[in-house]
Structure 1
Amino acid sequence: MGDFDPLAQIGRGQFGIVRKVFHRPTKVTMAMKEIRLQLDELQLNQILMELNVLHEAHSPYIVDFYGAFFIESCVYYCMEYMECGSLDHMFSVDCSEAVLSKIAYSMVMGLKFLKDKFEIIHRDVKPTNVLVNAEGEVKLCDFGVSGKLNASLAKTRVGCENYMAPERIKMGAGDEGYTVQSDIWSLGISLVETATGKYPYPLDNRPTSTVFVIMQDIINGPAPNLDPEQYSEDCRDFIARCLEKEPHDRPSYADLLEHPFLTKYKDEDVDMKGWAKQALANKKDT
């Protein structure tokens, strides 16, 4: 710990705080997550899952992991510092369709990597678990609730209900489970929120503001999409395919990577760095 200079607290996770630190021996600025190990077995298993994924995941679409160490009852692990923070911090910057396509591509590539490399499903895909650096690179993080797929199925209901696919919300004790298609639903909701800057299931003026109301909307209401006057048919079709109510109607990651919304901008020089720079400027102004 003596090798680090603390610079600022940058977040608070499920089990502890995250700080921006400077590691003097390597002269690298890092994000350090501190977790106190006064936890039950389930929470400990979630931490071990995240450490395992970070340690083994070498991908440009997953945050880099530098190492972990223990001091008394705390575990500290050090990761790549992503200057812009999570995707929800980018809502103050206009998100063009080209930028949205690049974000979608990075998220799909990250999720596909987890599936192909580890046979796991993320299970908590949402803007707060997608990080952006000053270069405009987009990477997934927070794998504490990731689940091992058994014959392509996961069975436990963990994660944030607001981004859960309908089949996960409805899942009963006797149901066979769910697939990576549930992460594709969460991807679609996250992209709509990123494009509009607001969560797509508003509570309006209804008397209750409970998660239950949102869950009912997800199951029974129409799937959200983007304004046809602002977004192309390709973009809206990509979102619509992600947000099919029936999981077997949603595309695979390989199918999504071949979708015109992603292929159209794949080789285009989109100014992701300028987008990130504007977000950083807005962050400093506040």
Structure 2
Amino acid sequence: MDIPLHQRIRDFESRIRRWKQVRFGPSSTHVFASRRSSSIEPRSSAVPRLNVGAPLPPRTSPLPRRAMANGQIPRRPLPELPTPISSVSSPSPSSNDEALDRRVAEIKSQSGRIVIMNVVYQASKDNLKRIGELGSGTCGVVYKARFDLTGTIMAVKQMAMTSVAEERRRVVMDLDVVLRSHDCPHIVRCYGCFISDYEVHICMELMATCLDKLSKRVQDGFPEDILGKMAVSIIKALDYLKVHQNIIHRDVKPSNILLDLNGTVKLCDFGIAGRLVDSLVRTHTAGCSAYMSPERLDPTHNYDIRADIWSVGISLVELARGENPYHGCSTEFEMLSRIVSESPPRLTIEEGFSSAFCDFVSLCLTKEVERRPKYRELLMHEWIVRYENANVDVAGWYQVVVQNSSN
């Protein structure tokens, strides 16, 4: 028997509320008693008039004084939430904090060690000559600087080292991943860092732009051959993280994919990357909702690297068409509803894309996670193999885009 539509909507709203409570913690719930349709005129005011001559009500609590004195104030029972698997098997907060402190100490021991072209320089933050700001966000500021011992131009990410454990963990994770990825050509290179008790400056190679900004310069989406070369780099970067560091990125999106003047595509921003345990992620953390896979929206489920593959698929659709498939959503709830309840986005041959590209995106956006392929399967896909070996002038295309958008 079919479940009525109104009941399905209620059930879905309940799932979203449980997801937000588990993911962000409990928050106060505001109930608006006077909701009405905008097409209906409001009724006459139901607010009682104040009778000036009437005696004031007694200023006593509706609870028995004895109960208040004994601290036995009745509380409304909280709704029972499903317990995430991660909360059962996760280490205690104290052990997490101790591990974090140890890792901070290890990274501090490398502060001032800058490696450029396999040459090690012992330097101080004063050796960074600031040129100008490149961008800013919730995690800090990125500025352009010259390293005066070599003249190397760098992008320096400046972030605060606060006492908040979660923020410190994000800084440490980002720095930890890039320091360990120096041998991967598909991950942005880190020269080193300067770290104190209050802030950290991460010295990175200077890239030309991110794909999010570049997409705004392109009128009708990226050409398929350009996307093919980019997809090869992205999948290889994610596969490297899984094989060599046993982590999942968790925030794959165009703004975290960078391009340099040589046409090389690299992945960046690993602040919310997660460690894999038995190939699964057992912790839930925030990311960008528009790129989240359906299984990540269920707080009771663990997930694996295939959550990042979904994000790759959404990013490819966005870059191919010039807009995110969920750009028309007016609220986050509407967006989450569409991700969970609607068929996933698709590219079509009628839009001018090859059947191989359409099939690749369809595989990335397979809603049933058990049927969604992993990195090694995708690296053997016809579309990836084609562009891994193809000679595509990404640098030349980028220069034309910049020139045309500047006129």
Question: If the length of structure 2 is used for normalisation, what is the TM-score?
Answer: 0.66
- Partner residue in 1 for 2:151: 27
* Partner of residue 360 from structure 2, selected from 238, 242, 259: 238
- Partner residue in 1 for 2:398: 276
2:183 counterpart of 1:56:
no
2:220 counterpart of 1:99:
no
Q: Deviations over 1:212-264 (max 9, x none)?
A: 11111111112112242210110000000000001111111111111111111
Instruction: Tell me how far apart the structure 2 counterparts of residues 168 and 212 of structure 1 sit (CA, whole Å).
Output: 15
* Alignment CA distance shift 1:99-1:199 (3 Å): same
Q: How does 1:106-117 map to 2 (within 5 A)?
A: 106-117=233-244
Q: What amino acid maps onto 2:310 in structure 1?
A: W
Contact 1:157 1:168 in 2 (8 A): no
Instruction: Tell me how far apart the structure 1 counterparts of residues 151 and 230 of structure 2 sit (CA, whole Å).
Output: 29
* Partner of residue 129 from structure 1, selected from 256, 269, 276: 256
Deviation at 1:281, TM superposition (A): 3.1
Most deviating of 32-41 and 235-244: 32-41
Deviation at 1:4, TM superposition (A): 2.1
Q: What amino acid maps onto 2:390 in structure 1?
A: E
- Partner residue in 2 for 1:169: 297
Instruction: Tell me how far apart the structure 1 counterparts of residues 404 and 184 of structure 2 sit (CA, whole Å).
Output: 29
Instruction: Tell me how far apart the structure 2 counterparts of residues 75 and 157 of structure 1 sit (CA, whole Å).
Output: 22
Of structures 1 and 2, the one scoring higher in RCO (CA 8 A, sep 6+) is: 1
Instruction: Tell me how far apart the structure 2 counterparts of residues 54 and 27 of structure 1 sit (CA, whole Å).
Output: 22
Deviation at 1:43, TM superposition (A): 1.1
- Partner residue in 2 for 1:264: 386
Contact 1:135 1:276 in 2 (8 A): no
Instruction: Tell me how far apart the structure 2 counterparts of residues 101 and 246 of structure 1 sit (CA, whole Å).
Output: 24
Question: If the length of structure 1 is used for normalisation, what is the TM-score?
Answer: 0.92
In the alignment, structure 1 segments of 5+ residues that lack a partner are none
Deviation at 1:39, TM superposition (A): 4.5
Instruction: Tell me how far apart the structure 1 counterparts of residues 275 and 400 of structure 2 sit (CA, whole Å).
Output: 38
- Partner residue in 2 for 1:10: 134
Instruction: Tell me how far apart the structure 1 counterparts of residues 391 and 195 of structure 2 sit (CA, whole Å).
Output: 43
Deviation at 1:68, TM superposition (A): 0.6
Q: What amino acid maps onto 2:372 in structure 1?
A: R
* Partner of residue 311 from structure 2, selected from 160, 173, 186: 186
SS at match of 2:126: coil
Root-mean-square deviation (Å): 1.6
- Partner residue in 2 for 1:222: 343
**Count of residues in Structure 1 that have an aligned counterpart in Structure 2:** 277
Deviation at 1:98, TM superposition (A): 0.9
* Alignment CA distance shift 1:280-1:78 (3 Å): farther
Q: Deviations over 1:173-217 (max 9, x none)?
A: xx3x0010000000000111111111111326xxxx211111111
Instruction: Tell me how far apart the structure 2 counterparts of residues 142 and 14 of structure 1 sit (CA, whole Å).
Output: 12
Q: Deviations over 1:118-144 (max 9, x none)?
A: 110000000011000011110000000
Instruction: Tell me how far apart the structure 1 counterparts of residues 136 and 400 of structure 2 sit (CA, whole Å).
Output: 24
Structure 1 segments of 4+ aligned residues over 4 angstroms from their partners: none
SS at match of 2:142: strand
Pair member with larger Rg? 2
Deviation at 1:56, TM superposition (A): 0.6
In the alignment, structure 2 segments of 5+ residues that lack a partner are 1-124
Contact 2:161 2:171 in 1 (8 A): no
Most deviating of 155-164 and 186-195: 155-164
Deviation at 1:13, TM superposition (A): 3.3
SS at match of 2:280: coil
Deviation at 1:10, TM superposition (A): 1.1
Instruction: Tell me how far apart the structure 2 counterparts of residues 279 and 129 of structure 1 sit (CA, whole Å).
Output: 20
SS at match of 2:238: helix
* Alignment CA distance shift 1:279-1:19 (3 Å): farther
- Partner residue in 2 for 1:247: 369
Deviation at 1:282, TM superposition (A): 5.3
Q: What amino acid maps onto 1:266 in structure 2?
A: E
Q: How does 1:134-213 map to 2 (within 5 A)?
A: 134-155=261-282, 156-172=284-300, 175=301, 177-203=302-328, 209-213=330-334
